[in-house]
Chains A and B, each alone.
Chain A
Amino acid sequence: MAREEATGGGPDRDLMILIGLEVILMICSEWPEIKLDEYKGVWVGALVEEGEINEASLQLIGAAKELADKLGTYIGVALVGYKIKELAEELIYYGADKVFVVDDEKLAIYYPSTYGMAIRKLAEKYKPEVLLIPATLKGREMAPYIANMFRTGITADLTSMDIDPKSKEVVLIRPPFGGYMLAHIVTKTRRPVMGSVRPNIFSTPQRDEKRKGEIVKEEVDVPEPKGIRLVGRIPIKKKEEIPIEKAEIIVSGGKGLGSEDGFKLLKELADLLGGVIAGSRKVVDAGWIDHNHQVGQTGKAVKPNVYFAVAISGAAQHVFGIREARRVIAINIDPNAPIFESADYGIVGNYKEVIPAIIEVIKEMKQKRKTGS
């Protein structure tokens, strides 16, 4: 059945392969031929933001380590940009064995095509087996472009990686339909094996100034940006707000809040506990809260001490983002809501009554503490 259907990737394709359609190892004549066994090393394409290596890149170096160890190979980092040389050392402190640097004035401004091309040219020369790109907004924009230039595949938003013990193939793992299952994806005919990884899926490795590594300065032919020009840039002043992925307390709201106003109550509780607010995809889609506050498979993975899931049904895609939370609290009007199965403590009730009650209890306690009783 699925075989009859033309599709743009995704679920049907996965089904087809599951029902046993062989992947035939003949390649498109428009693709350059490659020798698979020439490709060695696990690489990370590092992104520099406002003069600093972004944390997602450092996290990927940590993630690359396990894979590189299993493959018995090195960890490489492609560092491209302008006036970024000094950062190479830093990447070694975080675990890189070799840093390949392209420091070029033509990269003073970011364009997906020129940055993509610079990374591609480096990788073309040194032939890494694996190339990982942090899936920040720029990374998501650039990674598929790089993959296409290699005529290789790319796995978006992988959450873990492994080596098949038998075939020794690199397996990139991602949750396809949501948080219920994991798809193991291999790249049979092409290199590098490419993947993008959302920030905070992996934790930042320890910085170690004693680590030694090699810095390789490269000059590649960076193209002029073609047909695109940045004409204005206004930095967004970083609000002092803690990003949800770093928060210790998160009060998260779902569609059951009924309206944007519901978040006021959640904010009050969050403020009281020194936490932040977040939300499900439905509230992001409704425009009640910004996308960078979305928790879940297509949002962020969070690891707070306490996660309040308020008027959130508990879809697997949502729960996927709170696997690392120490305690999950469910507040839901429906005693049968699936969230209770993913929670440590639950209260059945209308959030409009439950949240004010919690706020009141906390305020009472604070008051008592102050008066010393």
Chain B
Amino acid sequence: MLNIVVGIKWVPNTTLVNIDPRTGTLIREGISSIVNPHDLVAVEMALRLKNEYGGTVTVITMSPPSAIAGLEHVIGMGADRGILVSDRAFAGADTLATSYALAKTMERLDYNLIVFGQETIDSSTAHIGAQVASWLKIPYIYYVTEARYIEDRNIIRVKRALENAYETYELELPALISVAMHSLNPRRVSIYNKLRVKLESPIETWSNEILGLEKNCIGLKGSPTALAKIEMIPKVLRKNEVFKGNDVKKAARWLVKKLLEEGLIEI
């Protein structure tokens, strides 16, 4: 049986984040949040493993309470249990402190497989998986595209692709894998399931009262890195010449001529 824990993150829908290109300022109003799309791929893989081999899928996220909507979405996809790890004391965590709190949460769960997304779209660090594996002292591997459970040997056999090779690994359970970002298409949630989950609102919230972690190990205090300052990136100056008129043939000639004159292309 596979008792799978999936880590998801509730992230601003960054494809919608608008930044005024003229002033370079962030337009934050009206940005909705979504489940990190790469984590939906992880959930999909977990659900398929559960369907094939039996077991459970528990989804956890460390986040402010607004992430409950994300956990509900994933339960609508078919996950069995959702845990929100949330406490003011966790606020301001860098990846070390985030992974610590997540690992300590995992320790309290009866899992034999942890599945993560490849990276988050808001911070894109791909740190948390390796860090959680390090805290839990379990084997891990990234960029997994396929996974099979071989129950009698208590292993999971996974495939992955690197820049220059396809590889197959066997990991003894418990283990952690992170799933390559486009390896599967996450299923949609039916309206019926959406409503059902809303009505049942099955999400548990775990605060640090439950976890009992030392204050110096979590949140801002447990984070070795700190932001010293933010600066705007100076814009690269470009010529900004736009062809005037609607004749595409003329436009094409204009462009090719410019590039030839500057010696940038060869014909």
- Whether A156 lies near B140 (C-beta < 8 A) is no
The distance from the CB of A3 to the nearest CB of chain B, in whole angstroms, is: 6
Is A33's beta carbon under 8 Å from chain B? no
Q: Enumerate A241-299 residues with CB–CB distance to B below 8 Å.
A: 249, 273-274, 282, 284-285, 287, 291-292, 298
Contact with B along A190-223 (1 / 0, CB 8 A): 1000000000000000000000000000000000
- Bound-state CA distance A360–B142 (Å) is 45
Task: With both chains docked as a complex, state the minimum distance between the C-beta of B32 and any C-beta of chain A, in angstroms.
Answer: 15
B195 interface residue (CB < 8 Å to A): no
Contact in complex: B233, A181 (CB < 8 Å)? yes
The verdict on A136 contacting chain B, using a C-beta distance below 8 Å, is yes
Map CB proximity to A onto B228-254 as digits: 1 under 8 Å, 0 otherwise.
111111011011111100101101110
B93 at interface by CB-CB < 8 Å: yes
B192 within 8 A of A: no
Q: Which residues of A from 93 to 149 have beta carbons under 8 Å from B?
A: 112-113, 136-138, 140-145, 147-149
* Cα–Cα distance between A2 and B131 once the two chains are bound (Å): 25
Q: In the complex, A291 Cα to B125 Cα: how many Å?
A: 16
Q: Are B214 and A28 in contact (CB under 8 A)?
A: yes
Complex CA distance for A270 and B157, rounded to whole angstroms: 40
* A148 contacts B264, C-beta separation under 8 Å: no
Of B141, B253, B258, the residue contacting A112 (CB under 8 A) is B141
**B93, B165, B259 — most chain A CB neighbours (10 Å):** B259
A154 at the interface (CB under 8 A from B): yes
- A165 contacts B by Cβ under 8 Å: no
Residue of A nearest to B236 (CB): A323
Is B114 in contact with chain A by the CB < 8 A criterion?
A: no
- Picked from B172, B220, B225, the residue with its CB within 8 Å of the CB of A228 is B172
Say yes or no: A188 contacts B236, CB within 8 Å.
no
Flag if A340 contacts B240 (CB, 8 Å): yes
Q: How far is the CA of A343 from the CA of B140 in the complex (A)?
A: 43
Give the nearest-CB partner of A305 in chain B: B264
Name which of A7-15, A38-46, A61-69, A71-79 contacts chain B: A7-15
Is chain A's binding surface mostly helix, strand, loop or mixed? mixed
CB pair B255–A358 under 8 Å, yes or no, is: yes
Residue in A113, A147, A164 whose CB lies within 8 Å of B131: A147
Closest to B171 in A: A228
- Determine if A6 and B62 form an interchain contact, defined as CB atoms under 8 angstroms apart: yes
Give the CA-CA distance A179 to B161 in the complex, in Å: 28
Is the beta-carbon distance between A17 and B169 smaller than 8 angstroms? no
For residue A111, give the distance in angstroms from its CB to the closest CB of chain B: 8
Q: In the docked arrangement, what's the CA distance between A154 and B123, Å?
A: 13
Option from B98, B124, B139 in Cβ contact (under 8 Å) with A227 = B139
Mark out the residues of chain A between 27 and 54 whose CB falls within 8 Å of any chain B CB in the assembled complex. 27-31, 49-50
Contact, CB under 8 Å: B164 / A238? yes
A91 to B97, CA, bound (A): 35
Q: Contacts A10-B123, A148-B96, A342-B236 hold; do A141 and B264 have CB atoms under 8 A apart?
A: no
Q: Which of A3, A6, A171 has the most CB of B within 10 A?
A: A6
Whether B228 pairs with A185 at a CB distance below 8 angstroms is yes
Q: Is the CB of A186 within 8 A of B226?
A: yes
Stretch of B21-29, B45-53, B73-81 on the interface side:
B21-29
Most chain B CB within a 10 A radius of its CB, from A2, A28, A141: A28
A2 / chain B contacts, CB cutoff of 8 Å: 91
B248:A156 contact, CB within 8 angstroms: no
- Whether A5 sits at the interface, judged by CB under 8 Å, is yes
Q: In the complex the two chains form, is B134's CB within 8 Å of A347's CB?
A: no
Whether A227 pairs with B172 at a CB distance below 8 angstroms is: yes
Residues in A with CB closer than 8 Å to B108 are: none
Point out the residue from A141, A235, A274 that lies within 8 Å of B130, measured CB to CB: A141
Q: Which residues of A have CB within 8 Å of B246? A: 349
Q: With both chains docked as a complex, state the minimum distance between the C-beta of B94 and any C-beta of chain A, in angstroms.
A: 5
The distance in angstroms between the C-alpha atoms of A352 and B16, with both chains bound, is 26
CB <8 Å contact, A153 and B124: no
In the complex formed, the residue of A with least CB distance to B97 is A9
A306 touches B15 (CB 8 A): no
Bound together, the chains give a CA A362 to CA B256 distance in angstroms of 7
A226 in the interface (beta carbon within 8 A): yes
Report if A84 contacts B (CB, 8 A): no
A153 and B94 contact, CB distance less than 8 A: yes
Using CB atoms, name the residue of chain B closest to A167.
B228
A residues near B (Cβ < 8 Å) are: 2-14, 16-18, 21, 23-24, 26-31, 49-50, 112-113, 136-138, 140-145, 147-149, 151-157, 164, 169, 171, 175-190, 225-236, 238, 249, 273-274, 282, 284-285, 287, 291-292, 298, 305-306, 314-316, 319-320, 323, 326-329, 335, 338, 340-349, 353-354, 357-358, 360-362, 365-366, 369
List 20 additional A-B contacts (Cβ < 8 Å) besides A5-B88, A345-B255.
Answer: A3-B91, A7-B91, A13-B92, A21-B220, A29-B214, A137-B142, A140-B126, A145-B130, A153-B223, A153-B224, A188-B226, A226-B139, A228-B170, A228-B172, A236-B164, A335-B242, A340-B240, A345-B241, A348-B242, A358-B256
